[in-house]
Amino acid sequence: MAAWMPSPALLAHLGLIFVIFQMLVLSAAFMVWMERKVCAYIQDRVGPNRVGYAGWLQPFADVIKLITKEELRPKAADALLFSIAPVISAAAAFAAFAVVPFGTSTTLFGLLDEPMPLQVTDVNVGVLVLFAITSMGIYGIVIAGWSSNSKYSLLGGLRSSAQMISYELSYALALAAVVMLAGSLSLREVVMSQSGYWWGFIPKWYIFLQPLGFFIYMCAGVAETNRAPFDFPEAEQELVAGYHTEYSSMSFALFFLAEYVNMVTVSAVATSLYLGGWLGPLLPDWLAWIWFLVKVFLLLFFYVWMRWTLPRYRYDQLMEFGWKWLLPAAVLNLLATAALVLWIG
């Protein structure tokens, strides 16, 4: 092989990154379709059913519509920050998935000398990296709110950042309890520590040890992704469309994409931390990623279901819930977990 040729391992890795990226984009498209379909059935309608079989091609039609629309920018907006904001949002959403493992390892049916783990990168501080990237995503929203030079955008951006800061604490404390149990910050090792069964049939998933932690994680996750019932940044009765009021065309689509990719990431991380990741019965090792997909899909469905079932909270209720209930509960959960870990050793 010539020296300038990249090694097969490197090519496989780049291929993996490409596949994950495409899967995330496709999952966002799928989520748009699922959201509209589920919402329709919950409201006793049929939903999109004209473009493709059962409306399958509807998201793609939407994307084409968005691409061909005119890109508008308010005259008084800050041009540079206005165009950077959606890029920051989308980039942070995609980058967070890099540390999530979704399967064991593969040699691509013998093509590679060494097995390649199904994960972009296994950092030994993976949980913290995830947390760092999520906190960067806030900037996209804040900057969008400020640079649009519109009161609705500004209020939306402010609300969103206040909400994210408030819930990030509970989110981090819930994660810390799992890290304590697993004894590692690498997501792959957290998943591996959940293998096996209690009494032969209950899987050793952390959801059974951390029911409160799982609840806190899911609440904080919904608040972090700005979804109903915590979707204040875009509460249309009060704020028109919140921080993306002034955005149109593809820059609007990027915010939309970021929101859905964030949902997928939050669900994937919940799967890894609480539901045993790709671990599951029946399937052989090389097909284990199917379990991962099934679990993530169920969580995403739960998200959509919740959005169309629960009404939006009031803003002061949200803050009160976050600071006076969720945070103390997360602290108690952490202390109890620490005591448990020390007691058992």
Q: Which positions lie near another protein, rule CB under 8 A? A: 78, 81, 123-125, 128-129, 131-132, 135-136, 138-139, 142-143, 145-147, 154, 157-158, 161-162, 165, 185
Q: For 285, how many CA atoms within 13 A lie in the half-sphere containing its CB?
A: 11
Using alpha carbons, select from 232, 233, 302, 237 the residue that is nearest to residue 89.
Answer: 233
How far is it, in rounded angstroms, from Cα 21 to Cα 18? Answer: 5
Burial class (CB in 10 A: 0-12, 13-18, 19+), 1: exposed
User: What six digits make up the tokens of 273?
Assistant: 């931390």
Question: Least distance (Å) from another protein to the CB of residue 146?
Answer: 5
How far is it, in rounded angstroms, from Cα 189 to Cα 182? Answer: 7
- Total Cβ atoms within 10 A of residue 48: 20
Question: Least distance (Å) from another protein to the CB of residue 133?
Answer: 8
Question: Least distance (Å) from another protein to the CB of residue 50?
Answer: 43
- Total Cβ atoms within 10 A of residue 144: 31
Question: Least distance (Å) from another protein to the CB of residue 147?
Answer: 8
Nearer to another protein, 90 or 142 (CB): 142
How far is it, in rounded angstroms, from Cα 338 to Cα 329? Answer: 14
Pairing, β 197-198 against β 116-117: unpaired
Nearer to another protein, 296 or 330 (CB): 330
Nearer to another protein, 34 or 133 (CB): 133
Nearer to another protein, 138 or 296 (CB): 138
Nearer to another protein, 83 or 135 (CB): 135
Question: Least distance (Å) from another protein to the CB of residue 296?
Answer: 25
Q: Classify the C-alpha dihedral 131-134-136-141 as positive or negative.
A: negative
Question: Least distance (Å) from another protein to the CB of residue 92?
Answer: 11
Nearer to another protein, 160 or 251 (CB): 160
Using alpha carbons, select from 231, 223, 254, 210 the residue that is nearest to residue 86.
Answer: 254
The three-class DSSP label of residue 321 is: helix
Nearest 10 degrees: Cα torsion 164, 167, 173, 174: -110
Nearer to another protein, 60 or 131 (CB): 131
Question: Least distance (Å) from another protein to the CB of residue 85?
Answer: 11
User: What six digits make up the tokens of 44?
Assistant: 């006793």
Whether the CB-CB separation of 148 and 161 falls below 8 Å is answered with no
Nearer to another protein, 147 or 271 (CB): 147
Stated as kind and residue range, the H or E segment containing 96 is: helix 79-96
User: What six digits make up the tokens of 156?
Assistant: 């939306």
